[in-house]
């Protein structure tokens, strides 16, 4: 499978004068954005739920997606002779990440966040921010210069995983703290997993873009396939556990929306695998279509996370 994926991606990356318009369309297709005192470690989980546990799991989880999304737009900007719209989108993703980081720690009324009071959560968020800082500096440098160089992509490829891993660990800490009588263990897990699905949609596109730009390797091919498999496995978990974790009428819209995502994801996965096995290679227009479908998945998964959040509120 990886050799087919390599053949397809190499065909996509072929550069000529005729491809400038296609690359421009590719970038523009991705511009829909999702805009969308300390106490001891022994703080009771039931008390923690009083401070908006579902919201904190949701928005801390969204940080993982914004890390991938900011990098994706920087990488996409590199592929177009007119990168300004993509750079602006990267700036918006970075700004939302920074605002949410402050809100998770200090509170933000408009985001629905109260100040964090649990020492373990504060420590985990601080460690995540520390890991994010060098990654965020790359994004900010691109935004300030309004241009992307190959070394920016190399640094994004190097710094992306440490920033993502640290944020994922922080989300898991917040999940453990805020599950309790008001927020069941299963529902807390579902909010976390559904939020992670948003990240996977952006991670797939970032990995593809990095492969096309600077990192053509078997390891990156395997990472792309691994991200696709993880999205598939997590979606199956959501569909299996939701009727048990969210009994009654509240489960119906969730089950319905997850079914829609299953249909959309199966279609996208089939198209990607078909393209990977094609001997003729694929054009940038195909990549544009994949990105558009990934954006639809992102929007649908964000709506689903909000439904889970509402069920836990």
- Across-strand partners of 119? none
Distance CA 254, CA 260 (A): 10
According to the model, what pLDDT value does residue 43 have?
Answer: 34
According to the model, what pLDDT value does residue 217 have?
Answer: 77
In this predicted model, what pLDDT tens digit does every residue of 173-218 receive, in sequence order?
A: 999 999 875 578 999 999 999 999 999 999 999 998 888 777 677 8
Q: How many CB atoms lie within 10 A of CB 2?
A: 14
According to the model, what pLDDT value does residue 271 have?
Answer: 82
**C-alpha closest to that of 54 among 303, 311, 298, 301:** 311
The whole-number average pLDDT for the span 107-112 is 96
According to the model, what pLDDT value does residue 172 have?
Answer: 97
Distance CA 55, CA 68 (A): 21
Q: Can you give the residue ranges of every domain in the chain?
A: 2-8+49-312
Distance CA 243, CA 276 (A): 35
Angle at 177 between CA 172 and CA 179, to 5 degrees: 95
In this predicted model, what pLDDT tens digit does every residue of 44-88 receive, in sequence order?
A: 333 344 448 999 999 999 999 999 999 999 998 887 777 899 999
Angle at 310 between CA 110 and CA 259, to 5 degrees: 125
Both tokens assigned to 277: 């096995």
Q: How many CB atoms lie within 10 A of CB 149?
A: 12
| pTM as predicted | 0.84
Long-range contacts of 245-254 (CB under 8 A, 24+ apart): 245/184, 245/186, 245/187, 245/189, 245/190, 246/187, 246/190, 246/308, 246/311, 250/307, 250/310, 250/311, 253/307, 254/304, 254/307, 254/308, 254/311
Both tokens assigned to 212: 């096309």
Q: How many CB atoms lie within 10 A of CB 15?
A: 10
According to the model, what pLDDT value does residue 110 have?
Answer: 96
According to the model, what pLDDT value does residue 156 have?
Answer: 97
Burial of residue 105 (CB within 10 Å: 0-12, 13-18, 19+) is middle
In this predicted model, what pLDDT tens digit does every residue of 163-174 receive, in sequence order?
A: 999 999 999 999
The whole-number average pLDDT for the span 280-298 is 74
User: Which one has a higher pLDDT value, 250 or 172?
Assistant: 172
Angle at 257 between CA 255 and CA 258, to 5 degrees: 65
Q: How many CA atoms lie within 13 A of 226 on its CB side?
A: 7
pLDDT tier for residue 219 given thresholds of 50, 70 and 90: confident
pLDDT tier for residue 24 given thresholds of 50, 70 and 90: very low
Mean pLDDT over the full length of the chain: 83
Instruction: Give the DSSP per-residue string, 35-78.
Output: ----B-TT--HHHHHTTTHHHHHHHHHHHHHHHHHHHHHHHHHH
According to the model, what pLDDT value does residue 51 have?
Answer: 47
Contact status, residue 125 vs residue 64, Cβ threshold 8 Å = no
């Amino acid at each position: 499978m990886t050799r087919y994926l390599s053949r397809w991606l190499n065909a996509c990356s072929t550069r000529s004068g005729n491809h400038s318009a296609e690359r421009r369309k590719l970038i523009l297709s991705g511009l829909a954005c999702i805009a969308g005192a300390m106490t001891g470690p022994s703080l009771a989980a039931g008390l923690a739920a009083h401070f908006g546990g579902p919201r904190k799991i949701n928005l801390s989880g969204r940080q993982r997606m914004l890390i991938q999304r900011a990098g994706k737009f920087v990488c996409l900007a590199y592929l177009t002779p007119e990168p300004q719209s993509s750079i602006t989108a990267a700036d918006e993703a970075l700004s939302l990440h920074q605002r949410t980081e402050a809100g998770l720690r200090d509170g933000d009324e408009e985001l629905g966040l109260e100040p964090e009071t649990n020492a373990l959560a504060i420590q985990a968020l601080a460690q995540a921010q520390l890991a994010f800082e060098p990654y965020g500096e790359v994004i900010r440098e691109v935004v300030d210069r309004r241009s992307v160089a190959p070394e920016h992509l190399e640094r994004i490829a190097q710094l992306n995983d440490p920033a993502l891993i640290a944020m994922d660990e922080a989300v898991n800490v917040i999940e453990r703290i805020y599950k309790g009588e008001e927020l069941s263990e299963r529902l807390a897990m579902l909010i976390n997993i559904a939020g992670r699905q948003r990240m996977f949609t952006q991670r797939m596109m970032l990995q593809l873009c990095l492969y096309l730009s600077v990192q053509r390797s078997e390891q990156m091919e395997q990472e792309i396939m691994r991200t696709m498999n993880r999205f598939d496995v997590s979606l199956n978990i959501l569909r299996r556990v939701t009727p048990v974790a969210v009994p009654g009428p509240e489960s119906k819209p969730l089950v319905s929306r997850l079914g829609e995502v299953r249909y959309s994801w199966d279609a996208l996965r089939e198209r990607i695998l078909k393209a990977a096995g094609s001997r003729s290679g694929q054009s940038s227009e195909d990549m544009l279509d994949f990105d558009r479908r990934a954006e639809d998945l992102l929007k649908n998964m964000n709506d689903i996370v909000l439904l889970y959040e509402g069920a836990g509120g």
